[in-house]
Amino acid sequence: METLFEELQLINCSLLPGELFILLDHCTGWKDALQSYAEDGYHESVTKLGLPQPVFQVGLEDFNVWFEISLPSSSWDSASSGASLHNLIAVKGENISRYQQERWQKIVQERFQEIGDSEYPIYQLLSLHLLPMLHEEFNLTQETKAMKAHSAAEEKALASTVSSAQIVYHALFTSHHLVSPTKRRNLQQWSSSLSIRGFSKVGYPGVIYAEGEHEDVQEFVDNVKAMQWLALRLRFMEPIPNSEKLPLSVGVNIGWKEFQKVGEVIEEMKRIGREKYVVEMGLGSSKN
């Protein structure tokens, strides 16, 4: 019984940020018992509490796979030496497929066999194998989602930009400066939610260039004006001349970018065939 307390305490105290240890509802008595153990150590009187078999879940806060572990409340030493210990660990999850469940159950079995003889087999299984693998799987899932979202956004932006029947609008702001992280985050968020393409030039002076459908550009312009910072000026908002007739290779501007130097602004506008708009306002010359 003491070994059981030691192992549960090890598991609970070894958790990293974002990892969870949750006793099931019918095991709430264990919460007080573990707290008492942490403060005063083990006492034989705990055997008189009539504690049920401890059942708990271990997983990550934001991942849909976790492990439900049922440990015997007595005869722990004999149970821990049995090769069937992995049967005490069930793979649970939210909206997981049968394939995922079977794959993780196989991982549990294989990693348990690797541990061999150990005084604290469940602790080692979780801390050395299962939890690190959950983190790895979670990170991979997040990266995949981000890549898919980015790809979908680029495809949508490209399809919108090269539409042969659609007139594209663009707008250009200048300001004394553009430094505030909040303003920069707002520009990023608006460009994403409104399917706006373009860029901002941060520092001194500040420059904001945006293009997209008429209503989207108008809303973007209104949002920028509402921020009201020093010497903010809308240079123009107008249709891009002959945008509906441009070849697919001309004027393709994808996503939202952020530049640090005026030279980068000139190069970007040159790339999309609109250098004159910034040269005319004195940001550079065609020689830059």
Average pLDDT over residues 221-247: 82
Last residue in a domain, options 95, 115, 133: 133
Residue 22 in any domain: the answer is yes
Q: Of residues 116 and 185, which shows the higher confidence score?
A: 185
Angular region, 278: left φ>0, alpha ψ -120 to 50, beta rest:
alpha
Residue 214 predicted with pLDDT over 80: yes
Last residue in a domain, options 90, 113, 133: 133
Whether residue 205 is preceded by a cis peptide bond, meaning omega within 30 degrees of 0, is: yes
Q: Indicate whether 31 and 82 sit together in one domain.
A: yes
Q: Indicate whether 176 and 112 sit together in one domain.
A: no
Average pLDDT over residues 211-219: 94
Q: Indicate whether 201 and 108 sit together in one domain.
A: no
Q: Indicate whether 166 and 257 sit together in one domain.
A: yes
Residue 75 predicted with pLDDT over 60: no
Q: Indicate whether 55 and 106 sit together in one domain.
A: yes
DSSP type of residue 120: S
Beta strands in the chain (DSSP E): 19-23, 55-60, 65-70, 89-93, 169-175, 197-201, 206-212, 233-239, 256-259
Q: Indicate whether 119 and 207 sit together in one domain.
A: no
Residue 251 in any domain: the answer is yes
Q: Supply the CATH number for residue 167's domain.
A: 3.30.70.100
pLDDT band for position 239 (cuts 50, 70, 90): very high
pLDDT in tens, 109-165: 889 888 877 788 899 999 999 999 999 998 888 888 788 888 777 777 666 655 545
Sheet of 89-93: strand order equals 19-23, 55-60, 65-70, 89-93
Q: Indicate whether 34 and 71 sit together in one domain.
A: yes
Say what the pLDDT of residue 71 is.
Answer: 81
Q: Indicate whether 168 and 55 sit together in one domain.
A: no
Domain hosting 178: range is: 162-279
d(CA 35, CA 47): 15
Residue 210 in any domain: the answer is yes
Question: Tokens in use for 233?
Answer: 């000026």
pLDDT band for position 211 (cuts 50, 70, 90): very high
Residue 43 in any domain: the answer is yes
d(CA 67, CA 96): 13
Residue 285 in any domain: the answer is no
Say what the pLDDT of residue 285 is.
Answer: 53
Average model confidence (pLDDT) for the chain? Answer: 83
Q: Indicate whether 174 and 233 sit together in one domain.
A: yes
Say what the pLDDT of residue 45 is.
Answer: 66
Residue 245 predicted with pLDDT over 60: no
Last residue in a domain, options 79, 114, 133: 133
Residue 125 in any domain: the answer is yes
Q: Indicate whether 116 and 220 sit together in one domain.
A: no
Question: Tokens in use for 95?
Answer: 């909206």
Residue 95 in any domain: the answer is yes
Q: Indicate whether 15 and 80 sit together in one domain.
A: yes
Residue 93 in any domain: the answer is yes
Please state, in angstroms and as integers, the Cα–Cα distance from residue 238 to each residue in 217, 262, 267, following that order. Answer: 10, 23, 22
Contact by Cβ (8 Å): 211, 169: yes
Q: How many structural domains does the chain have?
A: 2
Question: Tokens in use for 244?
Answer: 């509906």
Question: Tokens in use for 154?
Answer: 């680029």
pLDDT band for position 79 (cuts 50, 70, 90): very low
Residue 278 predicted with pLDDT over 60: yes
